[in-house]
A and B are shown apart, each in its own frame.
Chain A
Amino acid sequence: MTTKQSDQTLIRVEDLQMHFKKGQIKALDGVSLEIQKGEVLVIIGPSGSGKSTLLRCLNRLEVPTGGHIYVDNVDITNPKVEIHAYRQKRGMVFQHFHLFPNMTVLRNMTLAPMKLLKKSKQEAEEQALKLLDRVGLKNRADAYPSQLSGGQKQRIAIVRALCMNPEIMLFDEPTSALDPEMVGEVLEVMRELAKEGMTMAVVTHEMGFAREVGSRIIFMSEGKIVEEAPPKVFFENPRSDRAKEFLSKVL
């Protein structure tokens, strides 16, 4: 994505604040950014820097204490806005998967399309099986989450979100809870997704993934965006001392 037009903007964040304890703790301290259609925004930074909070605010799983998030020119931080319709169009993937343990894989994937998009069972299952096939888990459709490995669970969580045909996928440290040998299979799915043009916002510690797949890196520290650059620039030539220090530790 070299040229960006304003009508390509999916989400516009303005001066987002997240304060606790009457402003003593600032999880987010004036964050502004735009997410364009088709880009893979990778948010990195030390733990406690507010990356996850930012991502969760985009879906209003956290309600920011200040600032605005515009989607289609509607400020979704306004508590009067019915957030459910917006959430349907955002897939979210969590660190700990959060599959529904009492449902089969297939049921996990078809529940929301059937209840919210009013798809028929057959239609929803067809789509789910197609997606399962893509991530190589078609044979586990009738398994329960407890019978799956961590990597399989996360791949299911990703396709469960995709079943709602989201216009953007939010990933909140999707590989952090996985055993090392399972990280690859999940990143592979994400890589494929990016290749197909899915808009993604990814909070991760996987620097290889960030460098290879990301179209833009946002480096956060202490609730602020310290640096924002294409991955090549950021990893080879970080400007801020904070980013240099961070990279020297993780690379």
Chain B
Amino acid sequence: MILLVSDTMEAWLNSAPDWMLNLPQWAYDICYDFFKSFIFDQRYLNILTGLQNTLLLTFFALLVGLALGIIVSLVRVSWDKETKNRPWGIGKFFMGLANAVCKVYLTVIRGTPVVVQIMIIFFVIMANSNNKMLAGVLAFGINSGAYVAEIIRGGIMSIEEGQFEAGRSLGFGYVSTMVHIILPQAFKAVLPTLVNEFIVLLKETAVAGYVGLIDLTRAGNIIRGVSYVDFMPLLGVAVIYLVMVMFFTWLMGRLERRLRNSDH
């Protein structure tokens, strides 16, 4: 269906209330732009689809990133703190190998732009698939995992050595010292930084459009293309990101306060 500019104008004149048509020019323009961007032809549906995709993408990428980050950080810390000093054996060999793989992963992922990574995953590695969401979840998850790993590793390293020694002198092994004593403290310490990483991730998914995934940003761009209005769709998209970030910041602030209540 081809929509002519006159169609838009006609629909606007038919649906806008009279008081709106009588507004001063600048206000009238804003209302008309808003109509063209979101109301006419149900263009707001683009935004809803995009928002849904952005949230899905962020959520699953977050899960992948957290899982990867926890595993990688534990491998790195365990090697540096424990396995490195053990006598050689099959266990040490595999831990050393895993540690080396993790180091390469961290270097490569943190050393290249996420836009390039998502394009490589979608156009090269997943060349035979058209599952854009999967490509996005993998790309952003793998990318975020590298940062999460370093955040958690930093958290674990920030716990003083005495806590390890106290745990182990009570008879806890390395793993149970980690699980029962170190990690609960480390997670609490890194929670604000993890939330920050989550917020960065949410905004970073805006480049998912590079592989054709219709996320929030891409949805705004699509509207820009059909409505010939630039400012209003972009403003709408920006406001939605801002509201989401503010909401999650508020939510995490509450969670942090609750956690802090337990240690004074």
Contacts and interface: CB of A to CB of B under 8 A. Distances in A.
A85 interface: yes
A203 interface: no
Interface in B155-197: 160, 162-163, 165-166, 168-173, 176, 180-181, 184-185, 188
Contacts of B264: 144, 146-147
Interface string A146-163: 110000000000001100
A100 B171 contact: no
Given A79-B87, A111-B180, A146-B263, A84 B162 contact: no
Contacts of B87: 79-80
B86 interface: yes
Interface residues of A, number: 30
A74 interface: no
A112 B170 contact: yes
B171 A84 contact: yes
Nearest to B161: A98
B39 to A, nearest CB: 53
B181 A100 contact: yes
Given A79-B87, A98-B162, A144-B263, A59 B184 contact: no
B120 to A, nearest CB: 42
Contact of B176 (A96, A115, A160): A115
Contact of A115 (B160, B163, B172): B172
Contacts of A128: none
A79 B83 CA distance: 12
B184 A102 contact: yes
Contacts, number: 71
Contact of A87 (B169, B188, B263): B169
Contact of B171 (A94, A96, A101, A116): A116
Question: Looking at chain B's contact residues, is the secondary structure mostly helix, strand, loop, or mixed?
Answer: helix
Contacts of B160: 98
Contact of A98 (B163, B172, B176, B188): B163
Nearest to B177: A84
Nearest to A93: B169
B165 A164 contact: no
A112 B263 contact: no
B262 A87 contact: no
A152 to B, nearest CB: 15
A164 B171 contact: yes
A61 B167 CA distance: 11
Given A102-B185, A102-B262, A112 B172 contact: yes
A107 B61 CA distance: 36
Given A102-B185, A102-B188, A164 B170 contact: yes
A112 B165 CA distance: 13
Contacts of B176: 115-116
Given A79-B87, A102-B184, A102-B185, A87 B171 contact: yes
Interface of B: 85-87, 160, 162-163, 165-166, 168-173, 176, 180-181, 184-185, 188, 262-264
24 contacts: A59-B169, A61-B168, A79-B87, A84-B172, A85-B171, A87-B168, A87-B169, A92-B169, A98-B165, A98-B166, A100-B163, A100-B181, A100-B185, A102-B185, A111-B170, A111-B180, A111-B181, A112-B170, A115-B172, A146-B264, A147-B264, A160-B170, A161-B170, A164-B171
Interface of A: 59, 61, 63, 79-80, 84-85, 87-92, 94, 96, 98-102, 111-112, 115-116, 144, 146-147, 160-161, 164
Interface pairs A-B: 5 shortest CB-CB: A88-B171, A98-B166, A92-B169, A98-B162, A112-B170
